[in-house]
């Protein structure tokens, strides 16, 4: 039984090896997607400005410049020195627009698919291969999950020893070093890898299920003052910090404001804390918290927070980045072990 599981573990690792390598490296980088965006757009991401932030001015300019686009404000902060970032799209086109936080002037616009973080996201979730790539990611994610679970059974007697550093780490020869590194990395990154692969499979399945169903109808113009709405919302809910605004696509739809809630558990994403505003009556509906949502919402929140690493803590990001780098390490050391055993068998039979 053990040898059968070892064979499954080995072949799963070999078959999915190159894809695990790509997913691990891209995932380790995507942990720092906010920092990547900050670096790429560093000339306009933070600016010298002391005047009050005005969404209204930026929104009006974007509506005049891009009237037929679906619009979202994806980065909002009341801090005067932080630029506003809009995501706009219509069929066949998606752009990022960075606006001055006070006067609303467009500081930079770019095809979103050419940004570093979007390129990495496409590689990570579809191998830059569209629908076929999404399917491939899901299949190889299942193979990687099988490799992890069979590995747990194979190395189950060594897990505790490795965790308390009782298992010897051999530096020489190369085969012994690869075996020790494979074992230690596999055990120490096991929990995070399981979390990442399971949440990744759920996201991948959702991407496959909703392929082709995205509605990119242009957003309806908002005629009320967004700045006034934000002031009322933050006054009414002082523990709520708006970060993201979704503009309505059809008449009668509400304005949706998402954001962070002070004191919320780390596994509740900001994107399900929601306040909706009736743009006809001006009524601001009560804050809906992620923690009070349906079971489906709570699961989606946990999956998003874990796999997309929506943590403010830099140490947590480093930890998850390590987990991402562990997958390529396991792939490389596993391949070295397979080659060593294959060479040993060949020399014996020869």
- Widest pairwise Cα distance in the chain: 85
Q: Give the separation between CA 106 and CA 44, rounded to whole angstroms.
A: 10
Q: Give the separation between CA 291 and CA 201, rounded to whole angstroms.
A: 23
Q: Give the separation between CA 20 and CA 323, rounded to whole angstroms.
A: 12
pLDDT tens, residue by residue, 174-217: 888 888 888 888 888 888 999 999 999 999 999 888 755 455 56
Task: Give residue for tokens 């974007």.
Answer: 62
- Start-to-end C-alpha separation, the chain: 28
Whole-prediction pTM: 0.86
Q: Give the separation between CA 246 and CA 254, rounded to whole angstroms.
A: 9
Q: What is the SS3 string spanning 186-217? A: HHHCHHHHHHHHHHHHHHHHHHHHCCCCCCCC
Kindly write down the DSSP assignment for every residue of 81-134, as one continuous string.
Answer: TBPEEEEEEETTEEEEEEE-TTT--EEEEEEGGGSHHHHHHHHHHHTT-HHHHH
Helix locations, the chain, DSSP H = 2-15, 17-30, 33-40, 42-45, 55-65, 116-126, 130-154, 159-163, 174-188, 190-209, 226-236, 295-307, 314-349
The segments of the chain whose pLDDT lies below 50 read: 213
Asked whether the bond before 173 is cis by omega within 30 degrees of 0, the reply is: yes
pLDDT tens, residue by residue, 235-275: 999 999 999 999 998 777 899 999 999 999 988 999 999 99
Helix H or strand E encompassing 257: strand 255-261
């Amino acid at each position: 039984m053990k040898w059968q599981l070892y064979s499954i573990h080995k072949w799963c690792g070999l078959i999915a090896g190159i894809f695990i390598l790509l997913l691990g490296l891209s995932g380790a980088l995507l942990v720092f997607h906010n920092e990547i965006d900050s670096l790429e757009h560093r000339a306009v991401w933070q600016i010298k400005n002391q005047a009050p932030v005005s969404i209204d001015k930026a929104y009006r300019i974007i509506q005049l410049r891009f009237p037929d686009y679906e619009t979202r404000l994806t980065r909002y902060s009341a801090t005067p020195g932080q630029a506003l970032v809009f995501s706009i799209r219509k069929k066949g086109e998606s752009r990022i627009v960075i606006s001055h936080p006070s006067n609303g002037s467009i500081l930079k616009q770019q095809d979103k698919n050419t940004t570093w973080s979007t390129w990495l996201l496409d590689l990570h979730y579809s191998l830059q291969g569209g629908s076929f790539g999404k399917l491939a990611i899901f299949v190889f994610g299942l193979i990687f999950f099988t490799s992890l679970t069979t590995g747990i059974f194979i190395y189950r007697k060594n897990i505790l020893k490795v965790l308390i550093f009782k298992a010897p780490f051999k530096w020489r020869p190369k085969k012994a070093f690869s075996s020790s590194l494979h074992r230690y990395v596999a055990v120490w990154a096991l929990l995070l890898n399981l979390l990442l692969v399971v949440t990744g499979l759920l996201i991948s399945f959702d991407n496959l299920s909703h392929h082709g169903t995205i509605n990119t109808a242009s957003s309806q113009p908002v005629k009320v003052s967004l700045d006034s709405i934000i002031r009322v919302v933050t006054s009414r809910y002082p523990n709520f910090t708006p970060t993201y605004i979704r503009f309505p696509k059809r008449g009668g739809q509400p304005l949706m404001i998402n954001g962070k809630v002070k004191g919320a558990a780390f596994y509740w994403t900001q994107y399900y804390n929601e306040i909706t505003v009736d743009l006809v009556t001006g009524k601001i509906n009560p804050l809906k918290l992620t923690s009070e949502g349906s079971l489906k919402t709570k699961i989606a929140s946990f999956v998003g927070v874990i796999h997309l690493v929506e943590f403010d803590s830099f140490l947590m990001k480093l930890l998850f980045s390590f987990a991402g780098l562990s997958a390529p390490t396991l792939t490389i050391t596993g391949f070295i072990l397979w080659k060593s055993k294959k060479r040993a068998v060949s020399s014996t039979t020869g």
